[in-house]
Every structure is written in C-alpha cells, then in structure tokens.
A and B are shown apart, each in its own frame.
Chain A
Amino acid sequence: MNQTPNVQLPTSNAELSAGASTSNTKRRVLSIFWRILDFVLAGTFIYAGVVKAIDPVQFASDIDNFKILPWPVSVALAFYLPWLEILCALGLLFRVLYRGALSILTASIVIFTLAITAAKVRGLDITCGCFGHASQHWSFPSHLATNLAILAALLVLGFSNRSRKPF
C-alpha cells in the first residue's frame, strides 16, 4: 500500500549520492585544513623548542626572571621543556600519540600565558623566552596575542571532528 513508485527511486538515489559527494568533499577540505594547521603548529613548536634547546642557559635565565620557581627548578625546566615541545610537535606532525601531544602543548601554552600575565600584573618587565632570543624584545600584548592564537589553534584541533574523542 505504501509502496514508493519505482520511477522516483533513481532521482532519490541521485540526490543521496550528490549529498554524500558534497559531504565527502567538505570533509576532505576540512581534513586538509586540519592537516595544514597541524603542520603550522608543529613548525611553530619545533622552532620554539630548537631555539631554546640551543641556549638553555638563556632559557633558564628567562624562566628565573618570572620569580616563581627556585633556580635549580628553572635549570631543570630549561633542559626539559624544549625537548618536550619538540617531541610533542613531532607527534603532531606524524600523528603519533596525537592527542597526548596536543594536550601537553595546550597545557604548556596555558601555563606560559598565565605566567606572563602574572608577571605583567606583578610589574615585572620580562621576556617569556617562548621563542628564545627572537621574542626577547616583544611587548606584552604581542606575547599574549601570539600565545592566545596558538592556544586557539590547539583547541580547534582538539575539538575538531576528525578527533575520535573531544577533550
């Protein structure tokens, strides 16, 4: 009784097929966009990590300038953090331990952003050392804007549909 006329079937299939094709194209474009974002972020963190790993003495001094941690902890972090950044960036690049890498990088950028904001509030005129010597003369708004842009990109990747689970 409720049979659909046979003549309408090919049209419906074509519409379904066209819809699926549009959806596939959209998914592919998005997938390319996420991948580009992966590469941009990985490149940024590899650069940031390498410049700090090359000069750990300077980075230890930059961490110490925040006046939050004792000197030995600043030294330990100066040796450890750049390599953590580089490895996480490689994880992003090659999609190895992807979500872990994304989480660590997000946490690190949040901590750096809070630290530079706290330093500014306390009236300390410092460099966060986030990009080694290159960021030495950046103003506070430049630091903050860069960090927030990176944080936004990391969050977008974390919540993007291609990830299996949201944060």
Chain B
Amino acid sequence: MAALALLPAAGEAIYFRDKISWRSAIAPSEMVTVEQARGWGDTAIWVDARPDDEFASDHVPGAISLNEDRWNELLPPFLAVWVPGKKIVVYCSSLSCNASREVARRLRKEAQLSDVFVLEGGWEAWLKKNR
C-alpha cells in the first residue's frame, strides 16, 4: 500500500512541476530580487510583512505594513492604496523568514490579487543594497 501510493504521488509531482519548486519554498516565478523590484519604480507597492515594532523602527521608504498579526485590520487600508496593474513586493526580515511568503499567499488567495512577489533576502537584502 505504501509502495502503491508512490504512483499517484509521482503523477501529481509531474502535474504540479511548474507550480512548486523542489529547491525553494517559493516558486521562482514568484521571487524578485532587490534590483528587479527597484527597477519597477512606481509601478510596485512595497509591503512590509514584519511585526509592527520592526516596521516602526525602520522600513523600505513608502512601504505599507501588512502582517498576519493584524491582517484583518491592515488589509482594508492596503487595498485602498492598491491600484490594479501595480506589482506587489512583499518582504520580511531575511531569507529564512516565512512571513512574506504567507502574506503573499494570502494576498493571492484571500484578496484575489495577482502580480504578488516575495523579495529575495527580505529586509536584510534591501539594507545591503541600500547602504
């Protein structure tokens, strides 16, 4: 039975090969580097998925705070600012954090937004490139 389950699992792995990466938790098409995101200029909205205190201490200029702790409270102001066609760049603390991935996933699924990207390396990467 354990061996039999391998068959449909293999089939599903082939079917979903473009939707999931075996190397990173985020599909390559959903990742963006600091350089790419900066290149988008005003066509991108930056979303800070870190906790409130970290956002308060410092953040990407113009970024909007949208974290999971206060999701219901912060989502409406974010949607008020968002304009169709604008790209959304979500970041959290570093490469190892999950918050940006989760916020990006919820923006796609719950808010039905497209063009949502996760910043590779997060806030740490942004700081490195801007110092």
Q: CA separation between A75 and B8, bound complex, in Å?
A: 14
Q: CA separation between A72 and B23, bound complex, in Å?
A: 6
Is A46 positioned at the interface, with any CB of B under 8 Å from its CB?
Answer: no
Give the residue of A56, A71, A84 whose beta carbon is less than 8 angstroms from that of B16: A56
Contacts A84-B2, A104-B2; is A79 near B13 (CB within 8 Å)? yes
Chain B residues lying within 8 Å of A80, measured Cβ to Cβ, are 5-6, 9
Give the residue of B2, B5, B10, B22 whose beta carbon is less than 8 angstroms from that of A75: B22
Give the residue of B5, B13, B23, B25 whose beta carbon is less than 8 angstroms from that of A61: B25
Give the residue of A79, A101, A104 whose beta carbon is less than 8 angstroms from that of B12: A79
Give the residue of B1, B10, B23 whose beta carbon is less than 8 angstroms from that of A87: B1
Residue of B nearest to A61 (CB): B25
Contacts A83-B5, A97-B1; is A53 near B12 (CB within 8 Å)? yes
Q: CA separation between A83 and B8, bound complex, in Å?
A: 7
**Size category, A interface:** 20 to 34
Identify whether the interface residues of B are mostly helix, strand, loop, or mixed: loop
Residue of A nearest to B8 (CB): A83
Interface residues of A (CB under 8 A from B): 53, 56-58, 60-61, 64-65, 71-72, 74-75, 79-80, 83-84, 86-88, 91, 97, 100-101, 104
29 interchain pairs (CB within 8 A)? A53-B8, A53-B12, A56-B12, A57-B16, A57-B19, A57-B20, A64-B25, A64-B98, A65-B98, A71-B22, A72-B22, A72-B23, A75-B20, A75-B22, A79-B9, A79-B10, A79-B12, A79-B13, A80-B5, A80-B6, A83-B5, A83-B9, A83-B12, A84-B1, A87-B4, A88-B1, A91-B1, A97-B1, A104-B1
